[in-house]
Structure 1
Amino acid sequence: MVSATMCRLSVVMIVKNEADNLRLSLPSIKDLADEIIILDSGSSDDSQAVAESFGAKWYVNSDWQGFGVQRQRAQAYAKGRWILALDADEVVDKALAQVISQTINQQPAQTVYGLKRLDYIFGHRIDHPRWRVKPYWRLYPAAFQFNLDHVHESLDVGSAQTEVLEGFLEHHTAPDPEFLLRKRLAYALTWAKERHGRGKRVSGLGVLLRSLWSWLRQYVINGRFLQGRYGFIYAGIFAQYTFNKYALLYDLNHRSDSYREDYQPHAINHHKFPEPAGMNTQDRPATLSVVMIVKNEQKHLPACLYSLGDLADEIVILDSGSTDQTQKIAEHFGAKWFVNKDWQGFGRQRQIAQNHAQGDYILALDADEQLDAQLIQAIKDLLKRPVVNDAVFAVKRQNIFCGKAVHGNAWYYDRIVRLYAREQFTYHDYDVHESVGAQGVNVKVLPGALQHFTNDNLYHFLDKNIRYSTVWGKEKSSLGKKSKSSVVLALTTFHAWLREYIFRGAILGGAYGLFLSVSAAGYHFNKYIILGYKATKYDLEE
């Protein structure tokens, strides 16, 4: 800390599980501040020990009411006439530290000072210091405070004079792609809920236009094209963030009930479900085992099992650690219940589940899927004939996205192999996007449809996309797959959007068809940047 003869400066921070970042940021200000105030909201790592090793004063308030409120609470502990508000992932460079030291020698008045911030992702800078760098009002007299916004809070400067200081804040925004994607999605949901509560509206077209403008602003206007691949990656992620904010706002405005904790997507649910039809009692040439892998599927499982009627000779369910009523529901419908918590990926889990089955055929289902009457009859007709060992059977899966059949009723279906002879075929052991190992085998498509309720709400879908893209990137990296160049990735990401929106007919689904298409493009983009990060360990440049 500096001597008591200097104007008193309080550095104020709010944190949660920021030990690694504090190790970077605190050395840059320990000789600048008279006191360091840190307000924690429930850390479980060694943040407190790190903070106190640098002489910081540690306070705790776990009653989270948003970033703005938390900053005000933290500042209330400060005794300095000057306040320097920092995030744990920000480092004050030497030039900025020197200018701040000179600035606080004067008495506080009505001037608020902006600090220019250079963003870093995955250890690489994405802002050019000679391009226009946005200042953040972070050094100010103690009479000023942050506003009460839940996210993207800012200093309420009022009629104060403003001045931008020389030097930079180095903002280490994310150590890896998954962290950045999850952080931005969490911020987007918080922002959308707050704006929904204020009555803000947005159209589907408005969501798209804001997203495109966001990319243009980040990549071109803010000069991130100068930073090569990392500038390209960040612009893409930030455009997704803007899309997520406004698309989630649209979803909240139109389907707010789907964000309730007790939301039930089906009329038949764990609060109310009829008696099951029971297993098949007819003597058929071929028997059928319905095989499922589940975890915490009480919202979808009742409707799925009820849709089977008396189709199956047995239902085999392999659970990976449910804590809700999934087991109770499964047993109500007469399913055989097994547990394997040693998760090795979706493909391997399906293989283990199949090992518990005894039927001649396997029908692999997910809990969020339901068979229509035509598909059930087609399977029953198949079971009246001897087992087919030299072919597998695909079903036409209709995706229900945010409660809507966005591809229309007949334009596009996923055709996926789900029915096959148990002794001849099984699943690949892929971690994600697993499929039946039936290369070179004749595939017959069954009539009828399998309805797939892909998500409860848009946030659920976006979160699942991040999870799947991370697993895919890790798996493909371990197999030696390489990422795409920036140009190729841009083209293939656009193609992913075009394929979903035009070729697969999501254009018929209105705003939600657009959201699905943009999300599909984002998923494609994300899995390749995660692959690049995993495969090259911070060296994404080609």
Structure 2
Amino acid sequence: MMSIPCSVYIVTLNCGAWLEDTLNSVADFAEVIILDSGSTDHTYEIAQSFPNTRISHQDWLGYAAQKSLALAQCQNDWVLNLDGDEVLSDELKQEIAKTIQANQIDALIIPINDVFLGVPNSKHTKKHAKVRFFRKNKGQYDLENKVHENVIVDGQSIRAEGDIYHYGESSIFVKVEKNNQYSNLKAAEKFQKGKKPSLLKLTLVMPVTFLKSYFIRRSCLNGWRGFVNSMINSFYAFLKEAKLFEQHLQAKKTKRDDA
């Protein structure tokens, strides 16, 4: 079987629990570039067992900068980004191969199917989607984004039918811990961009986000897991706004202390 003429790039840190499944799903791609930021588990051993995979170390630079550096190492005209806890579906793999062969568009916006507590979303739940597959010379990262980094494509993008399965939210503890870290980064990013905190938003963001997640995005179809997931999502939105207030409070205190 011919390999798919596409480079896959992945940034990792202790992704050993999922990495073998991730790399198996792209074993027939031309190359896989892994940029690791200091794993102490068996990430290196797993990566080195795949002949199409090359792993190297880079101290953590932030999500967008780290992925941008991994992207620069890719040798093929087409590239695919995965995280170390994500698996490519067979449907999406076929779609990618056909897109390369047709050579008509520049990117695929790919639905991310979050496998929360070991169970994928209902097929009727509205999934988040991101550009993950694109022509290398048409895409770049916005380096100001500290988290939830996105690829900016200069060209035509269409939504893919197939999914990327995201396995990282394996427990409530892990999801809450990630959201605590991400909300720190998002609040710092907003503060640096000069965003002002809003008492109205602080009050309303949690119930509004819950309604959006549970009903509009149809997490209600995922049973009790969907309710828990929507509650955690709404608290994450609340934390981002609360921590923006905290950033401004700390800045005022620093200004007083320096005066």
Q: TM-score, normalised by structure 2?
A: 0.91
Confirm or deny that 1:397 pairs with 2:115: no
Q: How does 1:75-86 map to 2 (within 5 A)?
A: none
2:58 corresponds in structure 1 to: 340
Partner of 1:493: 206
User: Are the aligned partners of 1:360 and 1:421 in contact in 2 as well (CA < 8 Å)?
Assistant: yes
Residue 75 of structure 2 corresponds to 358
Q: What's the TM-score, normalizing by structure 1?
A: 0.45
Distance 1:400 1:505 in 2: 15
CA contact (8 A) 2:115 2:170 kept: no
* Paired amino acid for 1:336: R
Separation in 2, partners of 1:488, 1:296: 36
Give the SS at the match of 2:16. coil
8 Å CA contact 2:14, 2:42 repeated in 1: yes
Partner residue in 2 for 1:293: 11
2:151 is the alignment partner of 1:436: yes
SS at 2:173 equivalent: helix
User: 1:442 offset after TM fit, Å?
Assistant: 2.9
Offset at residue 386 of structure 1 (A): 3.4
Q: Distance in 1 between matches of 2:249 and 2:184?
A: 15
Alignment deviations for residues 367-386 of structure 1 (CA, whole Å, 9 cap, x no partner): 11111111111111122233
- Counterpart pick for 2:31 among 314, 317, 328: 314
Give the structure 1 partner of residue 127 of structure 2.
Answer: 413
In structure 1, C-alpha distance between the alignment counterparts of 2:225 and 2:252, rounded to whole Å: 37
What SS does the corresponding residue of 2:70 show, helix, strand or coil? Answer: helix
- The number of residue pairs the alignment matches comes to 251
Q: Given the alignment of the two structures, is residue 304 of structure 1 paired with residue 22 of structure 2, yes or no?
A: yes
1:418 and 1:436 in contact (8 A); partners too: yes
Alpha carbons 2:21, 2:87 under 8 Å: kept:
yes
Which residue does 2:91 correspond to in 1? 374
For 1:496 and 1:329, the matched residues in 2 are separated by: 39
* Aligned equivalents of 1:515, 1:474: Cα separation in 2: 27
1:250 aligns with none
Q: Secondary structure of 1:313's match?
A: strand
Q: Secondary structure at the match of 1:476?
A: helix
Give me the identity figure in percent.
27
Map of 2:236 onto structure 1: 523
Deviation at 1:387, TM superposition (A): 6.8
The match for 1:470 is 184
Q: Indicate the residue corresponding to 2:257 in structure 1.
A: none
Q: In the aligned structure 1, how far is the partner of 2:173 from the partner of 2:25?
A: 27
Within the candidate set 48, 63, 68, 1:331 is matched to 48
Alpha-carbon distance in structure 1 between the residues aligned to 2:146 and 2:238: 19
Alignment partners' CA distance in 1, 2:45 and 2:158: 35
Letter in 1 for 2:66: Q
Equivalent of 2:164, from 446, 450, 455?
450
Aligned residue runs from structure 1 range 54-69, under 5 A: none
Offset from partner CA, 1:98-122 (integer Å, 9 cap, x none): xxxxxxxxxxxxxxxxxxxxxxxxx
Of structures 1 and 2, the one with the larger relative CO (CA 8 A, separation 6+) is 2
The residue correspondences of 1:49-198 to structure 2 (distance < 5 A) are none
List per-residue Cα deviations over 1:272-321 (Å, max 9, x = no partner): xxxxxxxx735x7xx200000001110010111112241x1100000111
For residue 513 of structure 1, the aligned residue among 226, 231, 247 is: 226
- Report whether the alignment pairs 1:427 with 2:141: yes
Summarize the Cα distance change of 1:354–1:387 in structure 2 as closer, same or farther, 3 Å threshold.
farther
- Partner SS, residue 423 of structure 1: helix
Return the offset for 1:410: 3.0
Query: SS where residue 530 of structure 1 aligns?
Result: helix
1:539 Cα offset (Å): 5.9
Describe how 1:186-335 pairs up with structure 2 within 5 A: 281-282=2-3, 287-310=5-28, 312-334=29-51, 335=53
What corresponds to 2:256 in structure 1?
A: none
| Partner Cα distance (2:58, 2:27) in 1 | 27
Listed one character per residue, the Cα deviations across residues 117-139 of structure 1 (whole Å, up to 9, x for unaligned) are: xxxxxxxxxxxxxxxxxxxxxxx
Q: Is the 8 A contact 1:360 1:387 kept in 2?
A: no
8 Å Cα contact 1:372/1:451 also seen in 2: yes
- 1:538 Cα offset (Å): 6.9
Q: Deviations over 1:326-374 (max 9, x none)?
A: 0111111121112111x22100000000111111111000111111111
Superposition RMSD in Å: 1.9
What is the CA–CA distance in structure 1 between the aligned matches of 2:61 and 2:198, rounded to whole Å?
27
Relative to structure 2, which stretch is displaced further, 367-376 or 487-496? Answer: 487-496
Deviation at 1:522, TM superposition (A): 0.4
Aligned residue identity for 1:451: Y
- Is residue 64–residue 141 contact of structure 2 (8 Å, CA) maintained in 1? yes
Please give the secondary structure, in 2, of the residue aligned with 1:397.
strand
Structure 1 residue ranges without an equivalent (≥5): 1-279
Deviation at 1:393, TM superposition (A): 1.1
Q: Distance in 2 between matches of 1:410 and 1:332?
A: 37
1:229 alignment partner in structure 2: none
